[in-house]
Amino acid sequence: MTRRVLIAVFQQDSDLLRAVAAVRAAGWKIDDVYAPYAVHGLDRALGWRPSRLSWVCAACGLAGAAFMLWFQQWTSAVSWPLNVGGKPWNSLPAFVPIIFEGMVLAAGLGTVLALFLVARLRPGKKTLPIVPGVFDDRFALVIEETDATFDAAAVSELLRNHHAVEIEERVWEADSCSTGAAGGAAGSRSRRRLNYLLLLVLIVLVAANMLVPRNQAQPNREFLPDMAHSPAYTSESANPNFADGETLQPPVLGTLAQGQRRLPYAATDADALLAGQELHNPLPAGQAGVRERGAVVFQNFCTPCHGGGGLGDGPVALRGYPAPPSLVTGNSTKMPDGQLFHIITYGRANMPPQAGLLSPEDRWAVILHIRSLQTPNTSIPAGTKP
Amino acid sequence: MAEARLASPPPLVAGDKSPADVTREICAPMERRPSGLWWSAFLVSASVLALGVAAVAYEISTGIGTWGLNRTVGWAFDITNFVFWIGIGHAGTLISAILLLFRQKWRTSVNRSAEAMTIFAVVCAGLFPLIHMGRPWMAYWVVPYPNYRGPLWINFRSALMWDVFAISTYLAISLVFWYVGLIPDLATASTRGKPGWRRRLLGFFSLGWDGSYRTWHRYELVYLLLAGLATPLVLSVHTVVSFDFATAVLPGWHTTVLPPYFVAGAIFSGMAMVLTLMLIARKVMHLEDYITHRHIDPMCKLTLLTGSMVGLAYLVEFFTALYSGNEYEQFGASNRLWGPYGWCYWLMIGCNVAAPQLLWFRWVRRRLPLVLVIVILVNVGMWFERFVIIVVSLHRDFLPSSWTMYVPTSVEIAILAGSFGLFFTCFLLFCRFLPMIAIGEVKGVLGHGQTDCAEVTIP
Amino acid sequence: MNPKTAGRYVSPKAVRWLWTLAVLGGAAFVVGAALQPQRLWPNLLLVGFLSVGFGLGGLLLIAFHDLTGARWSSAFGCIREGMAATLPWAALAMAVILVAGLCSYPWSRTGALTEETAWFKRWWLEPGFFTARLVAYLAIWAVFAAAMVRASRRATALGGPTRAGARLSAAFLVVFSLTFWLASSDWIMSLQPDWYSTAFGVYNFSGVLLAAQAAVTLLTVALRAAGPLKNAVGRDQLHDLGTLLLSFSCFWMYIWFCQYMLIWYTNMPEETSHYASRVRGLWAPLFYANIVINWAIPFAVLLPRAAKTNAGTLVKISLLLLAGRWLDVYLMILPSINADASLIGFCEIGSMALAVGALGLLFLPALRKSLRLSPLG
C-alpha cells in the first residue's frame, strides 16, 4: 500500500509554528515535521504528548540500583564472606556509592538504547534529507493525504499564506519509514554476504580445532607468567648480597623473637645462683599436660646423658662421656628452679646450652618433670601405671 | 531613580547570523585544510605525548621503582595527577548538564567542547591508577567476574573499588551524553563537503538521523534525562574520589567536609581549564562570534564562586583542626602551613584563593589575556592542592621514625607532561574532525536576546 | 497603589489564626516547661535557630535570585522579602535565648576543657568571646536583612534586578558563608564540645536551604490560592519550585550521607560519639525517620513530572519538609543535652506553635508592604 503526502518547506521557525497551528485548526493530519534543530514550542503546537521514555529511564535506574544492592550484598556476605577491617557483612553505607553508580549507568544506557530502538536509529543506516537543507536551515512540514476529501489545493493555499517557499506532493511506500529506503537493498545484500563469510570462518576454526592433533604432554604456553616462577634464593644457596656470601643469616645480636623475654644473665655460676633467687617457674605444677610435656621433652633431649630416671646413666655416659651428676640426689635437689633454668639455658661444665633447642616453656616444663623424678611418690599421677 | 537597571543582555551569538551561516562557519574548520597554527600546536602536543608514552613504557618495563615513591609516601604524583584530571573533567559535565537543567542558554556555544574535554580528561585520569598498578595487564582484576578462586570477589567495602565503578560509569555516561548530542550535527556534517571516506564515516555514525521531529521530540527528553542523570553523577564521582582519602584515618585526609569541598574544587579547576581552552580556541579556530563575553563572563563568575568555596573549605579545615583538640590534627595542619612542603601550601593559597578574587572586577573579566593568566594560575594551584592533600599528609604520619620526603623523578614528570600531551592531542583532533560547537543548539538560541520570534500564541 | 486594596489580600482571619496559634502554643510551652524544666532552654534554642534560619533562608533566596538573574522566580519576590524581614526580630530573640542559656553549654562549667591540646577550644569558647561573636553574627545578619529587603523591593518596583542589589547579594553570600558556618558550630556543635565535624556548617546550610525552599513553595501555593499571586504563578513555576525542592532535598541527603558514612567508616571514637547516642534507644526511630521525611518521601513523590506541577502535592511535601527540618535540628540539639530520653511533648509542640505564630505575624506585614510596592499589588 502506498500513501500520499504533501511536503511544505519553510525558512523561518516562526512561520512553521504558525502553519502547524493553522493546519491543525483546519483539521488536517500532520504526519511529521523535519527540522535542523529542536524548535522551541513545536511539541505543544503539534499537541504531542510527552514521550514515555522517562518511564524507561526510571525502570532501568531502579533495576540497576536493585541489582547492585543485591550483588554487593550477595558477594560480600553470602558467596564469600570476607572480613575486611572489621566491617559488618551488611555494610550498607559502604554499598551506597556503587548502588548509585549502577543506577545511573543502567538508567543512562537503557534510556539511550530505548531511544535508538523506538527512533529506529542504528549505525550505518543511510538517509537522504527529505528536502535539501533540512539539516541546515529549512523546515519541512509533512501532511498526510488521508482520504478523497483531502483538498490539496486548499492546503497549499493555506501553507503559502504562511510563507511556505516550496510545496510538493509525494508517494511513499507504506512500510518504508520516510526517507530510509534509499540503498536498503544493496545494504542488506552486502550484510548477508558478510554473515556467510563469518559463518565459514567459524566452521573452519571449529574443524581445525577437532582435526589438528594436540600433544597433551606439552605444557601450555605461558602468557605473562608474572611471579609464578619465584626467583627467590633458597636458604642454602650462595648469595652475593651478603658479605659472607650465605643466604641464611643469623639474627642480629640481641634479637628476641616475639613473645620472648630477655634473660639478663651471663653463663657463669654466680649468675646461675642469682637466677635461682630471681626466677620462678611460671608453670603451675598441677596443670594438666604440663608435666606430660616435661616428660616428653626430658625423654627426647635429656635421657641420652642423664638417663631415663635422671641418675646420670644415659647411653652417652655409659659409652665413656663424663657422666653428669645425678638429678635425683645431692645438689640438684637443693637447687631452686631458677638455677636449673639457668643451667639448662646456658649449660654447665660438660653440658652444652639448650637455649637453641628448647623454648622457655619447655625448659620450665622439664624442670617440673625433674622435680617429680626427685619425689617419686608424687611423680606418678593417680590412675596411671608406673 | 538614579539607579541603573542591569542592561538587557546582548545576543549570545554576535554578528547577526542566519542558521545557514552557523552551519557553514562551524563546519568550516572540518572542511578546510588545517592552519599552520593548528599544525604547530598538534606537533608540539604529539611530541609531548610521545615523551609520555616513552616514559610509561620505561616505567612498566622496569617497574614502579622508577618513580620517587617510598614506603611512607606510596601515593604521590600519580594519584595527584589522577585527581587533577578527574577534576578537570567535571566542568564539562557541569556546563553541559547542570546548566542545561538550569536553562542557562549561554552554555550552547561551549558545551560540546566542554564535554569533549571531559572525556579526554577522564581518559587521562584513568591512565594513572592503571599505570600505578605496576602490572596494568592485570587491571581486569578490579572487575567482579566469576572466577576459579572461590569465586573470590572484589572488596566492595573499599573506597578504591567505588572509584573503579564511579570512574567507569562517568566515562560511559559522558561518552553517551557527548555522542547523543553529536548525532544531529554528524548528520549535518555528513551532507556537506567533498564526498569521500570522511562523509561516509560521519554518515555511519549519524545513525540515519533524518531530522524528523518525532525523533527530535524524544531526543530532547532523552537529552534532558541524561543531563538529570549526569548532574548527580558528576557530584558522586568527585565525592567518591574524595572517599579514597576521607575513609582513611590520616589527618588531612579524614575530614567530613572533604566530599563537597572536592566537588567544588573539581568544578573550580574544570572551569579554569574550560576557560583556558576556550580563550585559546576562539582565537585559533576563529570562533570569536560564537564564544563571546556572554559566555566568558559567567564562567569567570563560576570560577570565582567555586574558588571562594574552596577557600572557605581550607579555612574550615584549619579551624576545625585547631578546634578539635586532637594533637594529630593540629600537627597535620601546622605541618601543611609551616612544614618542609609549606611552599606548596602557600602557592596553592595564592593561586586558588587570592588570584581568582581579581575576577570580582568586571574590568578584569573583560580583559581576556588577564583572565587567561588567572585561570592558568588556578590550574597550577589546583594541581598543587591535590599534591598538598596527598603528599603532605602522607609524608609525616603518626610514626615519626617513618617521616620522609618525596621528590618526583624525571620519569614521573615526563608522564605528567605526557598526559597533557594526550589531552591536547585529543582536543586538537576533535577540533579538526568534529563540529566543535553544537550546531543545532546554537541555531535554537540565535533569536535569543533579540525579539523572541519563536513565541507564538497557540490556540 | 492604595494601601487599602493591597491589604485586602491578607485576610484578618489569617491574623486571628496566627494569634490563636501563638497564644495556645505559648500556653502549652509554659505548661511543658513547668512539668519538665530541663527541656525549656533546649526547645527555645531549637525554635530560635529555626526562626533565624527562616529569615536567613529568605535572604539566601534573594541573593540567589539576584545573582543568577533568574526571571521565573521574580514573582515570589514578596515571599522572600517577607521571610527575610522577620530576621531582625528572630535575631533579637535568638540573642536573648543564647545569652540566657550560656550556662547550659557543657563547656561553660568549671573544669571542662582542661586537656592540654584543647588550648584553642578554651580560648574560642570563652564565654565573653562567645557572646561577642554571637552578637556580631546576629547584628550583621539583621543589617543585611534590612538592606537587602529594601534593595529587593526597589528592584521589583523598577521591574528588574539592580546592580546595587547584586553587589549587596554577593557581599551577603561571602559574609553568610563565614558567619553561618561559625554560628552553627558555636551554637549547636559545641553542645557536644568533644565532637567535631568539618561538614557541620555545610550540613546546616543544606537544611536551611531546603526549609527555605519548602517555605517559599508553601507560601507561593497559599498566596496563589488566596489571590495576590494568582496570575503570576503558572504550571511552569510550580514545576521549577518542585524541581528545586527535589534537588535541595537530595543535596541535604548527600551532605548527611557524607558526614554519616565517613564517621561510620573510620569508626574513630572521638567522632562516633555523636551518632552513637542517636542510633540507640528511643532516639533511633527519630534518627531514621529524619532520612525518610527529609529525603525518601519527597524524592519518591516528586520524581514524576506530574507531581511537581500539582499544587496539593507540593503543599504536602513542603509541610513534611518543614517538619523534617524541625526534626533534624531537634536531633542535633536534644540528644546532646538530654541524652537519655526522646520525647515530643508540650514543650516541643508549644514552642513550635509559638514560633510559627510569631513568625507568621512578623511575615504578614512585610508581605503586605512588598505587595503594595510591587506591580502585582
Percent of chain A surpassing pLDDT 70: 92
Mean pLDDT in residue range B286-290 = 75
Rounded distance between C-alpha atoms, residue B39 and residue B37, angstroms: 5
Q: What average pLDDT does the segment B186-209 reach?
A: 82
Its domain, for residue B355, covers: 35-444
B457 found inside a domain = no
In a domain, B25, yes or no: no
The sheet with strand A29-34 has its strands ordered as A29-34, A139-144, A2-10, A166-173
Domain borders along chain A are: 2-173, 269-379
- Contact across the interface for C265 and A50, Cβ inside 8 Å: no
| pLDDT tier for residue B50 given thresholds of 50, 70 and 90 | very high
Q: Which residues of B232-253 are buried (b: 16+ CB within 10 A; e: fewer)?
A: bbbbbbbbbbbbbbbbbebbbb
Radius of gyration of chain A (CA): 48
- CB < 8 Å to C264, chain A: 93
Q: Residue B324: its chain C contacts at CB < 8 A?
A: 196, 270
Residue B454 has pLDDT above 70, yes or no: no
Q: Please tell me which residue, C140 or A381, carries the higher pLDDT value.
A: C140
Per the listing, cell 600546536 goes with B41
* Interface with C, mutate which of B294, B316, B357 (most C CBs under 10 A): B316
Q: Give mean pLDDT, residues B107-119.
A: 83
Distance (Å, rounded) from C-alpha B113 to C-alpha B430?
8
Q: Is B34 an 8 Å CB contact of chain A?
A: no
**B11 occurs within a structural domain:** no
Q: Does A98 lie at the interface with B, CB-CB under 8 angstroms?
A: yes
In the block, cell 503546537 appears at: A45
Q: Which of A31-35, A166-170, B229-233, C129-133 has the lowest mean pLDDT?
A: A166-170
Please tell me whether residue B170 adopts helix, strand or coil conformation. helix
Confidence grade of residue B13 (pLDDT, cut at 50, 70, 90): low
- Each residue's pLDDT tens digit, A43-93: 887 888 888 888 999 999 999 999 999 999 999 888 888 888 888 888 889
pLDDT range class, residue A377, cuts 50, 70, 90: low
Q: Residue C89: its pLDDT value, please?
A: 92
Q: Do C258 and B308 touch (CB under 8 A)?
A: no
Contact C9, C227 (CB under 8 A): yes
For residue A32, list its beta bridge partners. Answer: A142
Q: Is some CB atom of chain C closer than 8 A to the CB atom of A266?
A: no
- Model confidence at B5, pLDDT cuts 50, 70, 90, reads very low
CB atoms inside a 10 Å sphere around CB B403:
13
CA distance C270 to chain B (A): 9
What ipTM was estimated for this complex?
0.89
Q: What is the DSSP letter of B346?
A: H
Residue B383 placed within a domain? yes
Please report, for the domain that includes residue B56, its CATH number.
1.20.1630.10
B203 residue type, one letter: G
Residue B42 lies in a domain: yes
Chain B CB contacts of C160 under 8 Å are 5-6
| DSSP string of C185-234, one letter each residue | HHHTGGGSTT---TTHHHHHHHHHHHHHHHHHHHHHHHHHHHSTTTTT--
User: Does residue B371 register a pLDDT over 50?
Assistant: yes
What is the structure's pLDDT at A87?
86
Model pLDDT for residues B251-267, shown as the tens digit of each residue: 889 999 999 999 999 98
Query: What is the distance, to the nearest Å, from the Cα of residue A3 to the centroid of all Cα atoms in its chain?
Result: 58
Of A18, A53, A95, the CB nearest to B456: A18
What is the C-alpha separation between C351 and C349, in angstroms, rounded?
6
Q: What is the pLDDT of residue C1?
A: 37
Asked if C163 lies within 8 A of B235 by C-beta distance, the reply is no
Check residue A22 and give its pLDDT: 81
Is the residue at B13 inside a domain? Answer: no
Is any Cβ of chain A less than 8 angstroms from the Cβ of B40? Answer: no
pLDDT surpassing 70 at residue B219: yes
Query: Which amino acid, residue B107?
Result: R
Interface of A with B in 326-355 (CB under 8 A): none
CA distance C289 to B55: 55
Q: Verify whether the Cβ–Cβ distance A96 to C257 is below 8 Å.
A: yes
C-alpha to C-alpha distances, C79 to A341, C8, C59, C322, nearest whole angstrom? 90, 16, 11, 16
On chain C, the residues whose CB falls within 8 A of the CB of B246 are 262
Q: Work out the average pLDDT over B180-184.
A: 88
Indicate the residue of B232, B309, B322 with minimum beta-carbon distance to C120.
B322
Across the interface, of B239, B320, B360, the residue whose CB is closest to C198 is B320
pLDDT at residue B8 tops 60? no
Q: Which residues of chain C are within 8 Å of residue B302 when distances are taken between CB atoms?
A: none
Q: Which residue has the higher pLDDT, C309 or A99?
A: A99
B158 → chain C, closest CA residue: C265
Q: Distance between CA atoms of A120 and B210, rounded to whole angstroms?
A: 11
Radius of gyration of chain B (CA): 23
DSSP structure class, residue A47: T
Q: Which helix (H) or strand (E) holds C55?
A: helix C40-68
Q: B123 near B132, Cβ under 8 Å? A: no
pLDDT digits (tens, 9 = 90+) for B401-448: 889 999 999 999 999 999 999 999 998 888 888 887 877 777 777 764
> Considering only alpha carbons, which residue of chain B is nearest residue C181?
B316
Does the pLDDT at position A126 exceed 80? no
How many domains, in total, are found in chain B? 1
Res A197: pLDDT: 94
Does residue A304 have a pLDDT over 50?
Answer: yes
The answer to whether B171 contacts chain A (CB < 8 Å) is no
Mean pLDDT score across all residues of chain B: 85
**How many CB atoms within 10 Å of residue B82?**
27
Residue B120 near residue B44, CB atoms below 8 Å: no
Q: Mean pLDDT of all residues in chain A?
A: 83
The answer to the question of residue B358 being in a domain is: yes
Chain A residues with CB under 8 Å of B158 CB are 84
Give the confidence band of B12 by pLDDT, cuts at 50, 70, 90. Answer: low
- The verdict on residue B10 lying in a domain is no
Q: What's the pLDDT at B6?
A: 42
Looking at the domain covering A269-379, what would its CATH class be? Answer: mainly alpha
pLDDT band at A186 (very low <50, low <70, confident <90, very high): low
Give the angle subtended at the CA of A246 by the CAs of A242 and A250, to the nearest 5°: 90
Q: Is the peptide bond before A129 cis (omega within 30 degrees of 0)?
A: no
Residue B220 has its nearest CB partner, among A21, A38, A134, at A38
pLDDT tens digits in sequence order for chain C, 377 residues long: 344 444 455 677 788 888 888 888 888 888 888 888 888 888 889 999 999 999 999 999 989 888 877 777 777 788 888 899 999 999 999 999 999 888 888 888 877 777 888 888 888 888 889 999 999 999 999 999 999 998 888 888 777 777 888 889 999 999 999 999 999 999 999 988 888 999 999 999 999 999 999 999 998 888 887 777 777 777 888 888 898 999 999 999 999 999 999 999 998 888 898 898 888 878 888 999 999 999 999 999 998 888 888 888 999 999 999 999 999 999 998 888 876 666 777 888 888 888 888 888 888 888 888 887 766 54
Query: Measured between CB atoms, does C261 come within 8 Å of chain A?
Result: yes
Amino acid at site B456: V
B458 pLDDT more than 50: no
d(CA A155, CA B24): 33
Q: Is A309 helix (H, G, I), strand (E, B) or coil?
A: coil
A2-10 and A166-173 as β-strands: parallel, antiparallel, unpaired?
antiparallel
Which of the 8 DSSP states describes residue A143?
Answer: E
pLDDT of residue C348: 84
* Residue C305 to residue A96, Cβ atoms within 8 A: no
Contact of B113 with B178, CB cutoff 8 Å: no
